[in-house]
């Protein structure tokens, strides 16, 4: 297995999760973080 930077690994993980059906969200500030937690419950 070759070397991959942390950024490459994160991008690969993100792509994998999206392909599995996860929906990416933008967390721009603390209020957005709290709103996302509330949406998940």
Residue with tokens 């070397």: 3
Structural domain includes residue 26: yes
Residue 39 is predicted with a pLDDT of 82
Radius of gyration over every alpha carbon of the chain, rounded to an integer in angstroms: 14
Answer whether residue 34 is part of any domain.
yes
* Domains: count for the chain: 1
pTM of the model: 0.64
Query: Three-state SS across the chain?
Result: CCCCCHHHHHHHHHHHHHHCCCCCCCCCCHHHHHHHHHHHC
Quote the domain boundaries for residue 24. 6-39
Residue 4, pLDDT score: 94
pLDDT, block means (10 residues), the chain with 41 residues: 92 97 93 88 69
Q: Is residue 1 part of a domain?
A: no
* pLDDT given for residue 38 in this prediction: 84
């Amino acid at each position: 297995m070759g070397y991959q930077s942390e950024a490459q690994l994160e991008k690969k993980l993100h792509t994998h999760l999206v392909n599995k059906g996860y929906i990416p969200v933008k967390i721009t500030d603390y209020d957005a973080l709290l709103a996302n937690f509330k949406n998940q419950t």
